Amino acid sequence: MMRKTLSTWSAVATVAALAASAQATAVNGSLLIEDKGPPDPLAHWQVANNLVDIQPPLRPALAEAIVVIQGGSEKPQPLSITPTLTINDSRFEPAAIVIRPNTAVTISNSESTQHLLDAQGAFNGLRIDPRDTAQRIFKKVGVYTVRCSEFPHIVATVVVSNAYAATTVAGNGSFRFNALSPGSYTLGVIRDGAWVHRQPVSIVGARTRLEIKLSSWRGVE
């Protein structure tokens, strides 16, 4: 009887250990651009429109990036990013969001100027009055650029994805996934509506730290 009891406890302990090793865990990471170089002459803040002067970047370029985890057998996890875009101080805040298909995005205009917004493939001609709010549903997977047709430097990226996990990047390049299950995945970076990087990664628990080093923002196929 004692031998059977010890065997049973051993089996339970083994199962518990396996379950603990497969438990999702928070993973931190950083994104670094090695060669920042001069500003791109076609960057959105340099589009002349006869209404406002050509402007320098309004935010760190890293804050316009989204990091995506693809692959694996895990179901897509809930996203903690609030599906809201706010026009304030001649820019969108935040500069990029990631959502699931069929999610309604709230777009607010905190300025005293009316804005006419387009997002090819999602909606066109959305006119938002000062201090007003509107909602639009992004139905299909894809990368969408929301831009003011009258003030083209006011632009944001909406990534609609069924990827396992996705998150935005802070201005200092840091990012965080709250719960990733151990396994092998593809890590990707999206900026300005295009994929700029992909690399294989292995998540092995809390010891994992994701480091992304890019030579430039040049896109990949």
- Would you kindly state where each structural domain of the chain is located, as residue ranges? 24-214
- The CA distance from 106 to 190, in Å, is 21
146, 117 contact by CB (below 8 A)? yes
**pLDDT at position 20 over 60:** no
pLDDT classification of 128: cutoffs 50, 70, 90: very high
pLDDT score of 36: 57
95's torsion region: left (phi>0), alpha (psi -120 to 50) or beta?
alpha
pLDDT classification of 215: cutoffs 50, 70, 90: confident
pLDDT score of 22: 58
Within 8 A by CB and 6+ apart from 73, the residues are 183
Token code pair at residue 154: 């006011």
pLDDT score of 7: 38
Q: Which residues pair with 30 in a beta bridge?
A: 174, 211
**pLDDT at position 124 over 70:** yes
CATH 2.60.40.420 fits 24-214, yes or no: yes
3-state secondary structure at position 169: coil
pLDDT classification of 175: cutoffs 50, 70, 90: very high
Cβ atoms within 10 A of the Cβ of 29, count?
19
**pLDDT at position 42 over 50:** no
**Edge-to-edge order in the sheet of strand 174-180:** 174-180, 25-33, 209-214
